[in-house]
Homo-oligomer: A and B are copies of this chain.
Amino acid sequence: MAGERLDERERRDWLRLMKSEHVGPVTFRRLIARFGEASEALKALPALAQSGGLQRSIRLYPAEAADGDLERADAIGARFVGLNEPDYPPLLARTDSAPALICIMGRPELLQTPMIAIVGARSASAAGRRLARDFSSRLGRAGLTVVSGLARGIDAAAHEAALDTGTVAVVAGGIDVVYPPENQDLQQAIGERGCLVSEMTPGTVPRAEHFPRRNRLIAGMSLGTLVVEAALRSGSLITARLALEQNREVFAVPGSPLDPRAEGTNRLIKHGASLATSADDIIASVSGLVERVEHEAPAFQGLADEDGVSNFDVAGEAHRDRVWALLGPAPVELDDLIRESGLAAPVVNAVVLELEMAGRIERHPGQRLARLA
């Protein structure tokens, strides 16, 4: 399925499925694996959720709403790209949490280049912004596309310095929603000369919970992530952690222990991030980064069988009870669940999918599952 293109009907069904209740990125792929097509999955969702124990009807995203999203994207010069399509960023497609569709505007070819993320504090110092510009322009001249989150401070400085060589901004809200207001011109410039990316539909106003999700896209499409100035407990450290979880390199710019804006970057270095004082430090390791991502992250193999849990069987009430009894608030691995239940893997897969659709369990990284409430 990888490398194909969705037709317009499929694209609408993908969007509907992606935006339906209880469907996350991993579950989306499970549903396609089980039902072959998004349209079939949409038909099956109500019964699945009911089997899983949902006491009311599951909320499906209406076809008209999806049509409206697609039309709005078209009107503003944006479009939705599916996980299995050639324009989708290849490193992002390899991650567990890759969204089924992303909305893009600008030059899609930038998404096929080697990318480096530069992120950092919104309340950056003048020195921090200067460092972000220096790193960004030199990485750009070395042939790397600079990815960031279009926030104030470090993000904006990194984008600005890479406008001429190529920059990708991943925004937390809809691709056409200006945020923050002072970056309006920059957002427009990137939509024309660079590439804007969002997993939200156009018009979505960004909320607090969208920012960590945005960070996972930044880390996921990049070979490595550079953090320039970050306090402790900042979004940039979340991006760095997500990069490490995806086996990508994290670089951090050091600073004086007397400078609170360096607390986060110094801590990253203490915990294994590479200290970077100039773009050369990153450029020197890029070929190693490419190799590592290619060797250690699974290449995207399409939607049907990339994780070996694509076999489903019909589950009965007793199976559901047995699996449910083994789940608790602490995440357990799917393999343990299968072993301890004594049930066949396809049966457990089916039960898990039903419980997910009912909103009763939650997925954690690494095929782990936990009860919700």
Contacts and interface: CB of A to CB of B under 8 A. Distances in A.
Nearest to A130: B258
Contact of A278 (B257, B259, B262): B257
Integer count of this chain's copies in the complex: 2
A134 to B, nearest CB: 9
B258 A256 contact: no
A361 interface: no
Contacts of A253: 256-257
10 contacts: A131-B258, A253-B256, A253-B257, A254-B254, A254-B256, A254-B262, A255-B256, A256-B259, A257-B278, A269-B269
A242 interface: no
Interface of A: 127, 130-131, 253-259, 262-263, 266, 269-270, 274-275, 277-278, 281
Nearest to A127: B258
Dominant SS at the A interface?
mixed
Contact of A254 (B130, B255, B274, B278): B255
A150 to B, nearest CB: 24
Contact of A262 (B256, B269, B281): B256
A79 B257 CA distance: 41
A277 B275 CA distance: 14
Contacts of A278: 257
A251 to B, nearest CB: 11
A257 B254 contact: yes
A254 B254 CA distance: 6
B257 A131 contact: yes
Contacts of A275: 254, 266, 269-270, 275
